[in-house]
Amino acid sequence: MNEIDKLLNDYFEGLTSIEEEKRLKQYFESDRVKPEHRMYKTLFAAFSQEREWTSPPARLPRESKRKPFNLKLWIPLSGAVAACGLLLFFTTPFSRFQKPDYVVIVNGRHITNAREARCYADRMFFEAEKEMKESFRPVIRARQITQNMDADKIFEGVHKSITDRQTQEK
Amino acid sequence: MDAQQFQRQILCYSDKMYRMARSILLDESGAEDAFQDLVLRLWERRDQLDIIENKQAFSLTSMRNLCVDLLRKKLEYGGLTADIVSSAPDPQQELEEQDSLHNIHRLIDSLPELQRTIVRMKDVEEIEIREIAQILYMSENAVTVNLSRARKKLRDMIVTIQQSEEKQYERNR
């Protein structure tokens, strides 16, 4: 039994390796196929022909630029948002309705912050002082005019100047 | 897995997937539809394909499962009779056909689905027995047995045709 007969026997028993089968294919594709083997030539030719069958081009949908919905990311994220919402809901309303410990009324305004109350009070005092000064200015001026227009002082001055001249003439 | 990776790692097996579909379904246009269907399914799940080590085995297993499902549905709804899958061509009728290659394709197609799938994986796709076993979820021994049976059936059919041809030739002399 020659090598090809042995390979063919093994082939039909399903015992040949890929390499041995390649040798068989090469043999049956060649011009030196023995007459007793010719009937198998078409079998190997058919396998070669089937190897030429190609698939149609695959049609893929366009890849969306938008990332697919990632459930693993969204579950903890939505949980965190819900927790923050609940925290705000339970903390903010209570603090809003609670009475503050410190309340000062400055110029009719309710202030709960001590620092703010002091600043506001200082500003109000400053403005009041300024207003008072401006409102008393005409009175001060009138007093000055009254003092300047005193008749005794005027006559005393005139008398003094006359006496000074008489003294000089003598 | 992006489009380029999908092209490189999955679509490189397109021809093998298509040929497997054609071998199982015995229908060229049906095989094209099945191939396209599988490609779309794999594309939709491309994010999960990275973890698969043997992508050839995975692609071919998916193709076979899809085609076997299609065959089963066709059989259930009467679109396909069992005869189509297992009927052997009449040698006399085959003699009348001049295209011997076409006859061999028909002989292979006449084998049971599992046998023709195995014989084509080995002889057309040149896939090792170990990997065929992995693709078909079978033992290597079972693959070898089915391969041997398929090849021997083909040999017997070829011998029968050969003898018929010789008788016909002597009769005509």
Asked whether the predicted pLDDT for residue A29 surpasses 70, the reply is yes
Check residues B101 and B141 and name the one with the higher pLDDT.
B141
Class of domain B88-173: mainly alpha
Nearest chain B residue to A38 by CA distance is B162
Min Cα–Cα distance to chain A from B107, Å: 10
CA A53 – CA A64 distance, rounded (Å): 32
Q: Kindly provide the ipTM of the predicted complex, given to two decimals.
A: 0.80
- CATH number (3.40.109, 1.25.40, 1.10.1740, 2.60.40) of B1-81 reads 1.10.1740
Residues of A in contact with B11 (CB under 8 A): 58
Asked if A58's CB is within 8 angstroms of B11's CB, the reply is: yes
Residue B97 pLDDT grade (very low, low, confident, very high; cuts 50, 70, 90): very low
Min Cα–Cα distance to chain B from A39, Å: 7
Asked whether the predicted pLDDT for residue A96 surpasses 70, the reply is no
Min Cα–Cα distance to chain B from A116, Å: 60
Contact of B144 with chain A, judged by CB distance below 8 Å, is answered with yes
Contact of B128 with chain A, judged by CB distance below 8 Å, is answered with yes
Contact of B139 with chain A, judged by CB distance below 8 Å, is answered with no
Helices A41-51, B140-172: crossing angle, 10 deg rounding: 120
3-class DSSP state of A109? strand
Residues of A in contact with B18 (CB under 8 A): 53-56
Query: Could you tell me which of A98, A57, A100 has the C-alpha nearest to residue B18?
Result: A57
* Residues near B127 by beta carbon (within 8 Å), at least 6 away in sequence: B56, B121, B135
Asked if A50's CB is within 8 angstroms of B120's CB, the reply is: yes
Sequential DSSP letters for B108-126: HHTS-HHHHHHHHHHHTS-
Mean pLDDT of chain B: 85
CA B128 – CA B121 distance, rounded (Å): 8
Asked whether the predicted pLDDT for residue A78 surpasses 80, the reply is yes
Check residues B86 and B152 and name the one with the higher pLDDT.
B152
pTM for the full model? 0.61
Query: Could you tell me which of B154, B5, B161 has the C-alpha nearest to residue B169?
Result: B161
Contact of B153 with chain A, judged by CB distance below 8 Å, is answered with no
For chain B, what are the domain ranges?
1-81, 88-173
Contact of A11 with chain B, judged by CB distance below 8 Å, is answered with yes
- Residue B99, both tokens: 């295209």
pLDDT tens-digit profile of B12-47? 999 999 999 998 988 889 999 999 999 999 998 888
Tallying the residues shown for chain B, one arrives at: 173
- Residue A99, both tokens: 């009475």
Contact B105, B119 (CB under 8 A): no
Mean pLDDT of chain A: 83
Asked if B159's CB is within 8 angstroms of A39's CB, the reply is: yes
Asked whether the predicted pLDDT for residue A14 surpasses 60, the reply is yes
Q: Which residues between 24 and 83 in chain A have a beta carbon less than 8 angstroms from any beta carbon of chain B?
A: 39-40, 42-43, 45-47, 49-51, 53-56, 58-61, 63, 68
Check residues A92 and B166 and name the one with the higher pLDDT.
B166
Contact B80, B71 (CB under 8 A): yes
Taking chain A, what is the end-to-end CA distance rounded to the nearest angstrom? 181
* Residues near B113 by beta carbon (within 8 Å), at least 6 away in sequence: B24, B68, B71, B85
For chain A, what are the domain ranges?
3-46, 104-164
